[in-house]
Chain A
C-alpha cells in the first residue's frame, strides 16, 4: 500500500470546501411583486393555530377569501412555530410561505429590520386604507417598526383580571379591585394559608405565575421602555421601579418567594383543565380573553368575574386600560406571489365581516375598529370587558425593537432576580438592565 499523498488529499479537500464555501454567500433568492393577482395562482399560508376549533376557524376564513377571489387558492399549513417560520422565511422556495401569521408580536422589529417580511405601507396606501384609522391604537403600533409596517394585526389579545366571585363573597369583598392598593388588600384577604402551602391563594404574584409576566403586569403602570433616542428608559422611568416594588411587596406579603414557588410547582399547567384558577386554588388571575372560554369549559363550580386590571393609585381615571398583543400577519420577502399574497392579507386583516367571523370562531378580540363595533360580533357579555380594553385609548403594548423582544427578556430576568431576593438593590439592577438592553440593541444593529 503506497503512502497516502498528503498534498493531493489536502488539495482535494480544500478545493471541495472552497467550492462549497463559495456557495455560502450567494444571497437571497430573487423576490418581488411582479405576479398578476388576477390570474389563477396558489399561495402558501402558514399559521400557528392548532386547536380543532381554531383550525376550523382558519379554514372558514380561507374559504371566505377563496369565494371572494376565485382565482387565488390558499394552501394552509397550521401549527407552525416561530422557529420554523424564521427558517422558511430565510430560505424561501416553492414550499415556503407567501403569507405567515405569528403569535409573537415581539418579533415584529426583527421581521422589519431584517427585511424578512415586506413593508405593507405602500400596499395599504395603494389600496386607500388608512391603517391608523383601521386598527386600534396599540395594534397599529405593534405591527410596525422604524417606519416600516411589515405586519398587520390578525385578531388581538387583551389582558384583564379574572376573579372568583364566590371567593370574593366569602371574603366580604363587594367588587373587583380598581387600584393596586385595593388589589393588594383583596389578595391578602383572599389568601388562606395551609401549612407549607395554601388552601386558597389570593393571586400568584410571581413572574412565573403563567401570564403574570413583567410585560403584561407593567402595562398598567404605563412605562416607556425607550427614550426619544431609542435608548433604554428602564432606569429612568419611575414606572418601572414602582412596578417592580409593588410586585415584590405582594410576593413578600403573600408568603415569600420560596413558599410561593413551591406552591406553584404543585399547581396545574396553564393550558390544561387543572389551571389553579379553574380549581379555585388561586382566586384572582391576570390573563388574556381566551381564559374565559377555557375556564367555563373546565366547569369550575364558582361564578367567574371579569374586570380590567387595576391601575396605580391616583390614576383611577385610566381604569379600563390593559395590555394589548395579538397575532400578526405578513408577506414573506422571498415570495414570488406578493400581489396575490397582499390580496389575502388585506382580506383577513381589514375585511370587517372576515375579521368578525374569525373572532367569533376562535374567541379572540377583533383587530379593526369597525369589527369591534360590528353588530355581527357574538360574545358572552363578560367578553365585552376585553373588547373595551382593546378599544381603550390608554391601553398599551410593548414597542417593537430591532432584536425582537430581547429587551423584555432582560426586564423579565431582573424581575426573577428581584422577586427571589438575588438582586437586592433595585436601582443598581435597573441600571444594569438598561445597559444590557442598549448593548443587545447595539449588537443587533
Chain B
C-alpha cells in the first residue's frame, strides 16, 4: 500500500514535471529535433521539392564535398569571418565600452552615436557601405587618394571584400557595446581601489580586475558572435550583388560570391542549392556542415572557458 502510494506519488510528480516542461519540450521537438532529423534524412535523398524523395545514398555528400565548386570557398570564407570578424567585434565592442565608461561628459551622446548604426536594417546598411566604399566614386577612396594612401577596391576586390564586410560589422557594434558597458559598470569599485593601493598599472588593473569580472560576458559575446557569423547571409549577398552591378534581369543567371567567390558564405549555398537549384538533398548536407561546425565551435569554447571564466561562474 505504501509502495503503491509512493509509486503513484512519484508518477504524479513526474507527470507534473513533464507538464511544466512540455512547452519547452514541444518547442524543442517542433523547432529543433524534427528539423534536424529531417535534414539528416533528406541529405541522403534525391529531392527536388516537387516529387517524392528517393534514396540516393551518399551521392549528395560526395557532390558537396568533391564536385560542388562553391563549397570550399564558402567554407573558407565562413571560417575567416568566424575567426577574424568575431575577434575584432569583441575587441572593438569592449574597447568602445571601456572608452565610454571612462568618459565623464557626453556619455549619453556617444552611447547614442555608437548604438544608432546597430538599428539600421542590414540591407540598407550594406547598400550604404557599398556606396561609401565604391572604389571609383566612394567618398572613402576619394579621401584616401587625397591623403596619398593607396585606395583598396573594397567590395570589388577579392582581397578586400571580407575586410570591407568586417568594417560593416564593426560599424554596427552597438549591441556588444551596450552589453560590455553593463558588465564594466558592474565591476566592484573597491577592487579597483585595492589594486591602485597595491600600485597596479592601468594595464594590470584591466588584466587582473576588469577582465576576470567580465569574462562571462566576453564568453557570451564570443559564442553568440560565432553562431551569428555562421548564419551570415544578408550582408555578403547584398554587397556582392551591388558591387557586381548584376541585378537579376530577364534570363540572367546570378551566382553569389562576387568578387571571385570571396563573399560566399555557407548559408548562401543552402539557399542557392535548395530554393534556386531545387537540390534539397545537397542543401541539407551544407546545413548539416553548418550545424556541426557551430556545435564544434561552441563546444570548444565552452570547454576552454576555464581559462576565461572564474571559478563558480
Contacts and interface: CB of A to CB of B under 8 A. Distances in A.
Interface of A: 1-2, 4-5, 8-9, 12-14, 16-17, 20-21, 24-25, 27-28, 82-83, 86-87, 89-90, 103-106, 110, 113-116, 157, 197, 208-211, 213, 215, 261-267, 269-271, 288, 325-327, 333, 403-406, 408-409, 412-413, 416-417, 420, 422, 436, 439-440, 443-444
Given A103-B251, A265-B136, A114 B59 contact: no
A405 B136 contact: no
13 contacts: A2-B13, A9-B21, A13-B25, A17-B29, A21-B34, A21-B41, A116-B50, A208-B245, A215-B251, A265-B135, A416-B260, A436-B69, A444-B279
A282 to B, nearest CB: 13
Contacts of A404: 276-278
Given A2-B17, A90-B49, A83 B247 contact: no
A31 to B, nearest CB: 11
A114 B137 contact: no
A279 to B, nearest CB: 13
Interface of B: 10, 13-14, 17-18, 21-22, 25-26, 28-30, 33-34, 37-38, 41, 48-53, 59-60, 63, 67, 69, 134-137, 153, 156, 243-247, 249-253, 255, 258, 260, 275-279, 282
Given A443-B59, A444-B279, A288 B26 contact: no
A90 B50 contact: yes
A265 B141 CA distance: 12
A87 B271 CA distance: 12
B17 A4 contact: yes
B14 A8 contact: yes
A28 B251 contact: no
Given A86-B275, A87-B275, 8 more contacts: A9-B25, A20-B34, A103-B251, A115-B50, A208-B244, A265-B245, A325-B250, A439-B67
In the complex, the 7 A-B pairs of residues with the closest C-beta atoms, listed nearest first: A266-B136, A325-B251, A16-B29, A103-B250, A114-B50, A17-B33, A20-B34
B252 A213 contact: yes
A186 to B, nearest CB: 23
Given A404-B277, A443-B63, A262 B153 contact: yes
Nearest to B157: A261
A395 to B, nearest CB: 14
Contacts of B245: 208-210, 264-265, 267, 269-270
Given A16-B26, A325-B251, A443-B63, A406 B18 contact: no
A300 to B, nearest CB: 20
B14 A333 contact: no
Nearest to B253: A405
The secondary-structure label for the interface of chain A is helix
A5 B18 contact: yes
Contacts of B21: 4, 9
A116 B48 CA distance: 10
A326 B275 contact: no
B211 to A, nearest CB: 36
A208 B276 CA distance: 21
B50 A333 contact: yes
Contacts of B50: 28, 89-90, 114-116, 333
A420 B260 contact: yes
Nearest to A87: B275
A333 B49 CA distance: 13
A402 to B, nearest CB: 10
Contact of B135 (A12, A87, A262): A262
Given A21-B38, A24-B38, A270-B245, A83 B276 contact: yes
Contacts of B10: 2
A266 B137 contact: yes
Contacts of B275: 83, 86-87
Nearest to B45: A25
Nearest to A422: B260
A8 B18 contact: yes
B33 A263 contact: no
A354 B246 CA distance: 32
A265 B18 contact: no
A413 B136 CA distance: 24
B247 A114 contact: no
